[in-house]
Structure 1
Amino acid sequence: MLTVAFSAYDLTSIRFAYSPLREVSAGVHALRTPAGRVLHLPWFKEVRPQLGGELAPLLDLVPGGPYIPDFLCPVPTSPTPDLAGELAVLRATPHEIIRTGLERMADETPGSLTGCAMELHQDPDSGLERLVHSIEAYWRLAMAPHWPRMRNLLEGDLLYRARQFAEHGPAGVFADMHPAISWEDRTLFLEQRPQEWSRTLNGEGLLLAPSVFVWPTFLYRTDSPGQAAITYPVRAIATLWERGSAPAPDALAAVIGRSRALLLGQLDSPASTTDLSRRTGLAPGSVSEQLTLLLSAGLVTKHRVGRVMLYVRTPRAQALLDG
């Protein structure tokens, strides 16, 4: 088990951010290790036939072992970064950090330092350019068509975690993050790690990053220099590939109407109008109209996260659903 102890300052330095580049790495890792990832089966079927030779530099750096090189998952500088900004950070990675990450990958997954990974180790300058072009190609093929809905899910999680932290502190943040993650007495426990190991944070804080593709497990970086980070499964991951209409609570639908009841049923986690339209089968215009009515009635609230407006049901709405 891994334990991470927090100073009083670190308790105020927990921050939340998603990372497109983390999603690239985690997505490739999911493609390499599909067992147990049934929720992503529709994406696997679509993406696998498109993987070609131009992606070799990226694929060689994520061989499917337990470790993804740290330089492929830079610490985000804002809660909602874009891929271009993160690729600029990747291009500027010092050579010694690249070589250290690749050597650790070889230790964790023997025989993995071959092909483009070996070329990157020997010549980081040219290897980085090839890697960046490979990531851009992968993004166009596998990520860009689905990124808006992925981003909405990730931004909804950021909003949810921030609210939990404001209302309940760290205990609320970690309560439903993952079954192997728990919090007690200023200490975080990660049961996934097979060895006993501990770290005390001394002012560097902790980054919490939701991820679409890390499900059903989680990743952590706690024994590397710099800020500790945990990449955990985003909330409502099961809704990502859903299409079509979902059932509405019959009794509530009889009172407030089927469409509004249907939308309230979907808002246990924050969602945008686009997401709700996709999940329920309602037209975007109708979703927007119904949300306006629910907002006026105090049954939903809205919050802007990045470029997206996210809606979530209120305690009053929850009481109606529970009744």
Structure 2
Amino acid sequence: MHRIHFTADDLARVRVAPTLGPMAETLFSLYALRGRAEETMFGAWRRRVRGGIDSRFAVLAAITPARPPSFDMALLAGRGRDLAENAETFLASPRKAVRAELDFYAGHHGRVPAALAGIVDTLTARREVLSTVEAYHRGAVGPHWRGIRAHLDAERAQRGTVLLDRGVDGLLSSLHPSIRWSPPILHVDSSQFDADFPLNGRGLLLVSSFFLRFPAVMYEPGNPADCILIYPAALGVDHAASIWTGGPTTRALANLLGRTRASVLTAIADGVNTTGALARRLDVSSAAISQHTAVLREAGLITTRRHHSSVLHHSTHAGRALLDRHDTPRPAA
């Protein structure tokens, strides 16, 4: 069990991010690739990716062994907008930080794998590890990254709605069945080891993950107060299928509604439900979003309601049917 200890200052400094970036999700995907759980959502992806992996990718097994903890390359790579930014951060990681991660790894597994042994002192060794991860990303995650990122953006928007409706207590109480909020302590089920994380006023960053299907606490060894909680994003079979296939009706919808308006309707169905969030996701102005939502609302494809100072959009049954979505919209709480 991991226990994250909050003070009043920490509660005021809870933040939510959609993702740590493509490198973190690529590394997290190795857990989903190895496992057999949630086969209906990941089975086809697993079979395709496993078929393209050969002995050159043995380093991936060293980074994420069958028994945790892993070598926390995601933490060393930091948050990034794209893989290149993550890669640059990893290559520039201080020797002390890399050594601390390897010592932590060896403390739980008994040794440092040969594939990782040289990365503390040798930039060439880091580049070799990075090259393998990048090659794996291109085959396993890169082709789906746009859809994955959109899903994680929608997850963050959903958590924002929970925060508006139910406050920090509601947010921390609804992250995942394996996470239990018993103020002032957040309990996180873990098979790794028993640990306490006093935040000491620094607050907590909550980050969703598409591939990691169990919660995890990330932190620098020796600095447990500066930790990050990774929690699994809500994911249904239809959501996963649309990401692997790219959505069967995307082109038809664009022809029918126009590309931007089809994207607005899809984003709303995914849970991105404020005008500002839609504008950021689609990189258009809020005024343009308002025009598109007005048309969609008049056509009966979305509904709009005001919640305090925010305007929230939700897809209707007709809108979801047009998207070939047979699920109901995810509840806000």
Normalised by the length of structure 1, the TM-score is 0.73
2:278 matched to 1:304? yes
> Which of 141, 144, 147 is the matching residue for 1:146?
144
Partner of 1:88: 88
The total of aligned residue pairs comes to 280
Listed as ranges, the matches of 1:284-299 within 5 Å are 284-285=253-254, 286=256, 288=261
**Structure-2 change in CA distance of 1:275 and 1:28 (3 Å):** closer
2:100 maps to 100
SS in 2 for 1:130: helix
Question: What is the correspondence of 1:237-256 to structure 2 with a 5 Å cutoff?
Answer: 237-243=236-242
Q: How big is the shift at 1:91?
A: 0.9
Q: Kindly tell me: are residues 91 and 184 of structure 1, through their superposed partners in 2, closer, same or farther at Cα, counting changes over 3 Å?
A: same
Once the 2 structures are TM-superposed, how far is the Cα of residue 49 of structure 1 from its aligned partner?
Answer: 1.3
Q: In the alignment, residue 216 of structure 2 is paired with which amino acid?
A: L
Once the two structures are superposed, the pairs formed by residues 1-323 of structure 1 within 5 Å of their partners are: 1-17=1-17, 18-19=19-20, 20-31=22-33, 33-38=34-39, 39-74=41-76, 76-77=78-79, 81-110=81-110, 113-121=112-120, 123-192=121-190, 196-215=194-213, 217-221=214-218, 224=221, 225=223, 227-243=226-242, 278=247, 283-285=252-254, 286=256, 288=261, 301-302=274-275, 303-304=277-278, 306-308=280-282
TM-superposed deviation, 1:45: 0.9
C-alpha separation in 1, matches of 2:181 and 2:192: 18
How far apart, in 2, do the equivalents of 1:173 and 1:75 lie?
27
- Whether the aligned pair in 2 keeps the contact of 1:153 and 1:235 (CA below 8 Å) is no
Distance change (3 Å), C-alpha of 1:176 and 1:282: farther
CA distance in 1, matches of 2:130, 2:181: 38
After superposition, the C-alpha distances for 1:276-323 in whole angstroms (9 at most, x for unaligned) are 98276782224636967xx9xxxx75433754379986569699989x
RMSD: 3.5
Whether the aligned pair in 2 keeps the contact of 1:57 and 1:130 (CA below 8 Å) is no
Q: Runs of 5+ in structure 2 lacking a partner? A: 284-288, 294-301, 306-312, 318-327
TM-score, normalised relative to structure 2: 0.71
Please report how far the alpha carbon of residue 109 of structure 1 lies from its aligned counterpart in structure 2 after TM superposition: 2.9
* Cα distance change, pair 76–90 in 1 and its aligned pair in 2 (3 A): closer
Inter-partner Cα distance in structure 2 for 1:99 and 1:186: 33
Q: Compared with structure 1, are the counterparts of its residues 57 and 290 closer, same or farther at alpha carbon in structure 2 (3 Å cutoff)?
A: closer
The worse-fitting range, judged by mean Cα deviation, of 151-160 and 275-284 is 275-284
CA contact (8 A) 1:220 1:231 kept: yes
Structure 2 Cα separation of the partners of residues 24 and 167 of structure 1? 33
Between the aligned residues of both structures, percent identity stands at 22
3-state DSSP of counterpart to 1:208 = strand
Cα distance change, pair 57–11 in 1 and its aligned pair in 2 (3 A) = same
Deviation at 1:152, TM superposition (A): 0.8
1:127–1:195 CA distance, 2 compared to 1 (3 A): closer
Indicate conservation of the 8 Å contact 1:25/1:72, yes or no.
yes
